[in-house]
């Protein structure tokens, strides 16, 4: 989706952002100079831009930062959530002129340019965010340098770009080869993690709890999953429209059938929703940021959580549902808009959340979910030993 010139020498070049509804914002090139297309979404996180940029779930999205100053702490080698930047474009208001942090190795502008990521700065990101909030997420193009042309010509190119609805993207971001993240300290459990666009912190959070994580490609079959003799199976976050994820849904159904402890995050929650027979739908502008209030209805506690989702599960909030795998309920709900943020089976050891308990970036309020997964595996293991 991106054609660009590497190097930030031309960073003062004029740039233009064109939304598919014809609204235009002008600014200056930030990062690589060239052109790019994607779905325009906004993130309200005031910190954690490296984690945002490298989260594979942002593949094919142009991220607008509501925080007005971006790049202040530069770029370090520790915080990326994957091997590269995945956003297809980046929109900021006021970039740092002089990054400063003890871990910083280079500037964000330079990093975006080196990775060929086209961005734009000097945009009134508050006006742009309000527009997306009122009109909904939509396709967008950013053009700078020689790519700038008359607005009507750019608009027709934006309207030719693919949208997010119906996009099947997991295989474009997931690992091609299986790999193992070893347990830290004493190994207690083995987990098969189906990579649909996994963030690096997720297997790390499991490893911290004595779990050896076998990360498997998105195309992994039921046989591949059980070949690692897992105590639990995990389905990761990932980009795209969950209504296209037929293969992981069928693998998950087999896991539910066998009663292996199961945990899903984000895309994994949507896949559990589909496996249970619920629908998924596109939210008007989604949840992206690190300060979203979610209630755990199993305890009544409210947690402040990290989000990045544009779709949601359509399940009833006010009743227990009968599904092919027994009774299921909505375990977590977003207090801003009552969107389903978690699912739990009552007759099988399976649950999932729509948000990001691995918290990279974000508050650690939801870390207990990894403990819940661990105790679920422990309980099933103990029952197996007794049987
Ligand atoms: N972070 C995720 O896993 C996102 C899931 C899905 N792509 C969505 O936008 O809702």
Taking the CA of residue 196 as reference, the ligand 1 atom at the shortest distance is 3
Q: Are 274 and 249 in contact (CB under 8 A)?
A: yes
HEC assignment per residue over 297-333: CCCCCEEEEEEEEEEEEECCCCCCEEECCEEEEEEEE
Domain endpoint, select from 106, 136, 160? 160
Distance (Å) from CA 190 to ligand 1 centroid: 25
Residue 5, pLDDT score: 53
ipTM, two decimals: 0.98
Q: What pLDDT, in 10s, does the model give residues 4-33?
A: 554 444 457 999 999 999 999 999 999 999
387: CB partners within 8 A, 6+ apart: none
How far does the centroid of ligand 1 lie from the alpha carbon of residue 177, in Å? 22
Q: How many CB atoms lie within 10 A of CB 267?
A: 31
Q: Is 234 annotated as a binding residue?
A: no
Give per-residue pLDDT as tens, 197-237: 999 999 999 999 999 999 999 999 999 999 999 999 999 99
Burial 189-224 (b: 16+ CB within 10 A, else e): bbbbbbbbbbbbbbbebbbebebbbbbbbbebebeb
Residue of the nearest CA to atom 7 in ligand 1? 239
Confidence of residue 2 (pLDDT cuts 50, 70, 90): low
* Separation of alpha carbons 294 and 360, rounded Å: 17
Q: What percent of the chain lies above the pLDDT cut of 90? A: 96
Ligand 1 lined by 267 (C-beta under 6 Å): yes
Distance 270 CA to ligand 1 centre (A): 8
Q: Which domain holds residue 112?
A: 3-160
Mean pLDDT, the chain, whole residue set: 96
Active site residues: 266, 356, 358
pLDDT at 387: 73
pLDDT of res. 384: 87
Query: Within a domain: residue 165?
Result: no
Across the strands, what pairs with 334?
294
Query: Distance between CA atoms of 331 and 88, rounded to whole angstroms?
Result: 33
Residue 342 annotated as lining a ligand binding site: no
- Best of 86, 234, 242, 264 to mutate for ligand 1, by most ligand atoms within 8 A of CB? 242
Asked if residue 221 belongs to a domain, the reply is: yes
**CB 238 less than 6 A from any atom of ligand 1:** yes
In terms of domains, do 174 and 147 share one? Answer: no
273-318 confidence digits (pLDDT tens): 999 999 999 999 999 999 999 999 999 999 999 999 999 999 999 9
Cα(179) to ligand 1 centroid in Å equals 23
Q: Among 130, 160, 190, identify where a domain stops.
A: 160
Domain endpoint, select from 104, 139, 160: 160
Give the pLDDT of residue 1: 57
**pLDDT grade, residue 3 (50/70/90)?**
low
Co-location of 138 and 230 in the same domain: no
Q: How far is the centre of ligand 1, averaged over its atoms, from the C-alpha of 314 (Å)?
A: 14
One domain for residues 261 and 351: yes
Q: How many domains does the chain have?
A: 2
In a domain, 210, yes or no: yes
Average pLDDT over residues 159-172: 97
The answer on whether 289 is annotated among ligand-binding residues is: no
Q: Are the C-beta atoms of 346 and 325 separated by less than 8 Å? A: no
Structure tokens at 227: 């070949």
Nearest CA to ligand 1 atom 5: 267
Residues 308, 57 contacting (CB under 8 angstroms): yes
Q: Does the CB atom of residue 37 touch ligand 1 within 6 A?
A: no
Is residue 372 within 8 A of residue 234, CB to CB? The reply is no
- 323: domain CATH number is 3.40.50.880
Residue-by-residue DSSP string for 322-365: EETTEEEEEEEEETTT--EEEEEESSSSEEEESS-TT-SSS-SG
- Residue 136's CATH number: 3.50.30.20
Segment 354-385, tens digit of pLDDT? 999 999 999 999 999 999 999 999 999 999 88
The answer to whether residues 12 and 126 belong to one domain is: yes
User: Do 367 and 254 sit in the same domain of this protein?
Assistant: yes
Return the ligand 1 atom nearest residue 57 CA: 1
């Amino acid at each position: 989706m991106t054609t660009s010139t590497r190097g930030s020498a031309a960073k003062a070049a004029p740039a233009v952002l064109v939304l598919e509804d014809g609204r235009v914002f002008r600014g200056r090139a930030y990062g690589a100079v060239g052109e790019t297309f994607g779905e325009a979404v906004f993130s309200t996180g005031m910190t954690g831009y490296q984690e945002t940029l490298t989260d594979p779930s942002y593949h094919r999205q142009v991220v607008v930062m509501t925080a007005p100053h971006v790049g202040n702490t530069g770029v370090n080698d520790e915080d990326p959530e994957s091997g590269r930047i995945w956003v297809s474009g980046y929109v900021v208001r006021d970039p740092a002129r002089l990054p400063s942090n003890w871990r910083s190795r280079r500037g964000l502008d330079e990093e975006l340019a080196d990775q060929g990521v086209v961005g734009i700065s000097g945009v009134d990101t508050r006006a742009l965010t309000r527009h997306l909030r009122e009109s909904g997420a939509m396709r967008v193009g950013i053009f700078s340098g020689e790519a700038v042309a008359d607005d009507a010509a750019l608009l027709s190119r934006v309207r030719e770009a693919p949208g997010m609805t119906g996009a099947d993207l997991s295989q474009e971001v997931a690992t091609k080869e299986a790999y193992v993240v070893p347990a830290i300290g004493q190994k207690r459990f083995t987990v098969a993690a189906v990579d649909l666009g996994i963030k690096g912190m997720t297997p790390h959070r499991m490893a911290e709890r004595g779990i050896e994580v076998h990360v498997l490609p998105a195309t992994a079959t039921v046989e591949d999953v059980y070949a690692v003799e897992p105590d639990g199976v995990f389905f990761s976050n990932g980009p795209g429209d969950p209504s296209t994820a037929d293969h992981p849904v069928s693998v998950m159904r087999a896991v539910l059938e066998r009663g292996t402890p199961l945990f899903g995050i984000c895309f994994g929650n949507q896949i559990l929703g589909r496996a249970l027979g619920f629908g998924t739908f596109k939210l008007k502008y989604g949840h992206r940021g690190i300060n979203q209030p979610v209630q755990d209805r199993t305890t009544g506690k409210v947690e402040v959580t990290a989000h990045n989702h544009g779709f949601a599960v359509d399940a009833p909030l006010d009743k227990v549902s009968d599904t092919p795998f027994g009774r299921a309920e909505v375990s977590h709900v977003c207090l801003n808009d009552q969107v389903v943020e978690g699912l739990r089976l009552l007759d099988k050891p399976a649950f999932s959340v729509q948000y990001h308990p691995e918290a990279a970036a974000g508050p650690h309020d939801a870390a207990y979910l990894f403990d819940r997964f661990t105790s679920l595996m422990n309980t099933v293991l103990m029952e197996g030993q007794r049987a």
